[in-house]
């Protein structure tokens, strides 16, 4: 079909056609009212001719006043329908008023019979809307001829699915033709929406084959994540392209366009049910508080800052030694008009004098300690640096929190601290032990939160795989059987805040990380999501375990158990207690070894502090013998 040019209907032409439609509608009204075969033409002709100028004037005034001719016909919407009805109705009322004035005050003859005006009102509206929707349909049909016909299904038959279909229909740059809807609601199965069938999610694989579906667009506001993952897995297994409609809160200027439809992310395969937090209690906890966040420029620290800003704190101190990432966070907060809630401090947690000045200046009531060295192979090669940052830096902050009567101190730990097999994990375990033992000193409540890998965090496997895919591969996996727990950055930080709020001191909170994920399977799915074929377009290379790396992570040490809390995704670990004075002296002995730069001595003492620390695939395995 011929694609209609954009200027097919200039305003003056639309206005003229609308007036012609009004005249035709008036004639049709006469034919309907008086029966075309027996129309008393002679008796009505004079009334018709005498009233026609007033009729045209009334229609002209109302059409112009409501500007129904200014709408872009190819994009006719419900608002345009509303204006057509208001314009036509106003004109009819004006005609009825004029007709009454003529009858009662002039010559006792109506301009038009009331029945004619009523019929003409409905006919005019019908003809005007038919004209507009005919242009729209011609335009949409013309668009389809310019598209590659790729059978497309929309997952979601609610308002967002409908908006997605309308947007796809009216934009010429989208390849694909919507042929059906998929929905989780069994009550909708067998129904239709805008002439297209709705199928239940359970029938997806059959529908993909029978209708040769090439694309599926996820368009549900709050999907059931289990069903969503099933849909994605089925699509990946059948080589169907998967696209995602963003949340309405992310629509540009509140409007949705096809440019916002993006390929599904690997995070969407691993995301779980949304976390429900007690917002009122969190607001009461952090309202008007001065809060210090260490490692504020990092993945976890920066997200903690973003979420804390929602609870109206007095001031958030952003402490980090990385100046460029802190500057970028400042610019982000400034764009969101939140910069006034924060104060940036460039500092190294290993520098006690600098930290002392920070505590004296800002007097924080809350500390979220997220600063740490976290890369396992790097710390395996540099134990002294892990010692200074993860152990000594944490000790500095704990001691200052006690000294300055900080209300709560939340240590961000890791599952690698559990039965550690590497220097980094052991250094975090020592930090845990020291923070927990400090609960016996002063009034500060020390709380530890422990969770696994965070999706998309700096240096994590997801960004690495993305870079490797962009470079053409290969994707590197250390072992085909290696597994990890994953959690998104926002959900990890939500649970950190909730744990901090509920903590009374001494607790180690363990987060429900869901099911562990095989890294190899993750790599395969990322390849498929990128539209590449494994083994043909890109390869996966098995490189062997890195120093200190283990096949699977744990969330509890030997002898630990958990008890539930009021939040179903937060558990409390039962841990043994340590004497503060004893562990403090041991850490002083440990940090004193830094000057000697003897890695073997450092690691040996770390193993003495944490007996469950057994090195794996490391030069320090000899110390375990």
Say if residues 65 and 122 touch (Cβ distance below 8 Å): no
Statement to judge: residues 339 and 242 lie in one domain: no
What are the tens digits of pLDDT across the range 279-292?
888 889 999 999 99
Buried b (16+ CB within 10 A) or exposed e, 201-229: beebeebbeeeebbbbbbbbeebeeebbb
Residue 537 resides in a domain? yes
340 has which bridge partners?
Answer: none
Statement to judge: residues 113 and 182 lie in one domain: no
Residue 5 resides in a domain? no
Q: How far, in Å, CA of 106 to CA of 351, rounded?
A: 99
Last residue of some domain: 238, 264, 290? 264
Statement to judge: residues 535 and 607 lie in one domain: yes
Backbone angles phi, psi at 406, to 5 degrees: -60, 140
Residue 1 resides in a domain? no
pLDDT, mean over the chain: 82
Say if residues 417 and 379 touch (Cβ distance below 8 Å): no
Q: How many CB atoms lie within 10 A of CB 493?
A: 26
Statement to judge: residues 30 and 132 lie in one domain: yes
Q: How confident is the model at residue 6 (pLDDT cuts 50, 70, 90)?
A: very low
Q: What's the per-residue H, E or C state across 534-551?
A: ECCCECEEECCCCCCCCC
Statement to judge: residues 106 and 157 lie in one domain: no
Residue 485 resides in a domain? yes
What are the tens digits of pLDDT across the range 462-503?
778 888 888 888 889 888 888 877 777 887 888 888 888 888
Statement to judge: residues 299 and 214 lie in one domain: no
Q: How far, in Å, CA of 360 to CA of 570, rounded?
A: 34
Statement to judge: residues 617 and 513 lie in one domain: yes
The mean pLDDT of 173-186, rounded to a whole number, is: 79
The distance of Cα 375 from the centroid of its chain, to the nearest Å, equals 27
Residue 444 resides in a domain? yes
Residue 274 resides in a domain? no
450 has which bridge partners?
Answer: 413, 510
Query: How distant, in Å, are the alpha carbons of 105, 366, 452 from that of 373?
Result: 93, 22, 15
Q: How confident is the model at residue 554 (pLDDT cuts 50, 70, 90)?
A: low
What is the predicted pLDDT for the residue at 4?
44
Residue 270 resides in a domain? no
411 has which bridge partners?
Answer: 369, 448
Statement to judge: residues 459 and 513 lie in one domain: yes
Statement to judge: residues 234 and 320 lie in one domain: no
Closest by Cα among 243, 276, 547, 300 to 414 = 300
Query: How distant, in Å, are the alpha carbons of 211, 278, 570 from that of 566?
Result: 48, 10, 8
Last residue of some domain: 201, 232, 264? 264
Statement to judge: residues 92 and 240 lie in one domain: no
What is the predicted pLDDT for the residue at 292?
97
Say if residues 463 and 524 touch (Cβ distance below 8 Å): no
Residue 247 has pLDDT above 60, yes or no: yes
Token pair of 298, please? 């990092």
Residue 542 resides in a domain? yes
For residue 224, what are the domain limits? 151-264
What are the tens digits of pLDDT across the range 28-55?
887 777 665 555 555 666 677 777 888 8
Residues making up the chain, counted from first to last: 625
What is the predicted pLDDT for the residue at 573?
75
Last residue of some domain: 144, 170, 191? 144
What is the predicted pLDDT for the residue at 445?
95
What's the number of domains the chain is made of? Answer: 3
Distant-in-sequence, close-in-space partners of 431: CB < 8 Å, separation ≥ 6: 372, 390, 391, 394, 395, 411, 413, 417
Q: How far, in Å, CA of 344 to CA of 339, rounded?
A: 10
Say if residues 3 and 170 touch (Cβ distance below 8 Å): no
Statement to judge: residues 239 and 285 lie in one domain: no
Statement to judge: residues 62 and 103 lie in one domain: yes
Q: Kindly report the CATH number assigned to the domain that includes residue 331.
A: 3.40.50.720
Q: How far, in Å, CA of 87 to CA of 218, rounded?
A: 39
* Torsion sign over Cα 539, 545, 551, 553: negative
Q: How confident is the model at residue 121 (pLDDT cuts 50, 70, 90)?
A: confident
What is the predicted pLDDT for the residue at 2?
41
Token pair of 287, please? 């309202």
Closest by Cα among 312, 501, 311, 292 to 404 = 292
Residue 74 has pLDDT above 70, yes or no: no
What is the predicted pLDDT for the residue at 3?
44
Write out the catalytic residue numbers: 416
Query: How distant, in Å, are the alpha carbons of 138, 140, 144, 146, 314 from that of 172?
Result: 13, 9, 7, 7, 50
Residue with tokens 């000294």: 403
Cα diameter, the chain = 119
What are the tens digits of pLDDT across the range 360-407?
999 999 999 999 998 888 999 999 999 999 999 999 999 999 999 999
Residue with tokens 């290993």: 350
What are the tens digits of pLDDT across the range 569-620?
777 777 778 889 999 999 999 988 887 788 999 999 999 999 999 998 888 9
């Amino acid at each position: 079909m011929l694609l209609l040019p954009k200027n097919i209907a200039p305003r003056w032409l639309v206005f003229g056609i609308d007036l012609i439609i009004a005249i035709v509608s008036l004639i049709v009204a006469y034919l309907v009212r008086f029966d075309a075969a027996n129309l008393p033409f002679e008796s009505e002709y004079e009334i018709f001719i005498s009233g026609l100028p007033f009729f045209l004037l009334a229609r002209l005034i109302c059409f112009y006043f409501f500007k129904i001719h200014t709408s872009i016909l190819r994009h006719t919407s419900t608002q345009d329908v509303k204006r057509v009805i208001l314009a036509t109705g106003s004109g009819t009322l004006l005609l009825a008023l004029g007709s009454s004035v003529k009858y009662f005050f002039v010559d006792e003859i109506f301009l038009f019979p009331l029945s004619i005006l009523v019929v003409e009102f409905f006919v005019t509206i019908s003809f005007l809307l038919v004209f507009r929707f005919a242009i729209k349909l011609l335009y949409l049909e013309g668009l389809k001829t310019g598209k590659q016909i790729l059978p497309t299904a929309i997952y979601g038959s609610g308002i967002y699915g409908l908006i997605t279909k309308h947007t796809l229909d009216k934009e010429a740059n989208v390849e694909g033709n919507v042929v059906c809807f998929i929905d989780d609601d069994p009550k909708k199965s067998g129904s239709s929406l805008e002439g297209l069938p709705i199928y239940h999610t359970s029938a997806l694989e059959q529908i993909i084959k029978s209708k040769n579906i090439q694309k599926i667009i996820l368009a549900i506001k709050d999907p059931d994540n289990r069903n969503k993952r099933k849909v994605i897995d089925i699509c990946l297994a059948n080589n169907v392209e998967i696209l995602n409609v963003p949340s309405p809160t992310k629509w540009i200027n509140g409007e949705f366009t096809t440019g916002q439809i993006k390929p599904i992310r690997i995070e969407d395969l691993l995301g779980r049910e949304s976390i429900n937090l007690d917002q009122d209690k969190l607001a009461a906890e952090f309202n008007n508080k001065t809060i210090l966040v260490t490692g504020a420029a990092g993945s976890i620290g920066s997200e903690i800052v973003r979420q804390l800003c929602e609870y109206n704190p007095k001031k958030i101190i952003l402490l980090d030694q990385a100046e460029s990432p802190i500057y970028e966070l400042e610019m982000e907060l400034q764009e969101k008009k939140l910069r006034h809630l924060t104060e940036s401090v460039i500092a190294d947690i290993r520098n006690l004098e600098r930290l002392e000045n920070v505590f004296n200046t800002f007097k924080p009531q809350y500390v979220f300690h997220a600063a740490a060295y976290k890369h396992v192979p790097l710390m395996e090669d540099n134990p002294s640096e892990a010692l200074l940052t993860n152990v000594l830096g944490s000790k500095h902050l704990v001691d200052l929190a006690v000294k300055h009567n900080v209300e709560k101190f939340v240590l961000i730990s890791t599952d690698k601290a559990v039965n550690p097999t590497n220097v980094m994990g052991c250094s975090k375990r020592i930090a845990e032990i020291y923070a927990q033992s400090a609960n016996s000193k002063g009034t500060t409540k020390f709380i530890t939160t422990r969770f696994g890998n965070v999706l998309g965090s700096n240096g994590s496997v997801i960004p690495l795989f993305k870079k490797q895919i962009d470079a053409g591969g290969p994707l590197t996996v250390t072992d085909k059987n290696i597994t990890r727990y994953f959690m998104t950055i926002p959900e990890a930080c939500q649970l950190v805040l909730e744990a901090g709020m509920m903590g009374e001191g001494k607790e180690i909170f363990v987060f429900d990380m869901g099911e562990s994920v095989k890294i190899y399977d993750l790599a395969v799915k990322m390849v498929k999501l990128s539209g590449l074929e494994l083994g043909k377009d890109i390869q996966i290379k098995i490189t062997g375990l890195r120093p200190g790396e283990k096949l699977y992570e744990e969330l509890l040490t030997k002898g630990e158990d958990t008890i539930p809390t009021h939040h179903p995704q937060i558990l409390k670990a039962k841990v043994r207690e340590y004497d503060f004075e004893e562990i403090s002296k041991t850490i002083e002995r440990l940090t004193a070894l830094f000057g000697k730069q003897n890695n073997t001595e450092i690691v040996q003492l770390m193993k003495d502090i944490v007996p469950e620390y057994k090195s794996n695939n490391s030069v320090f395995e000899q110390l375990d013998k």
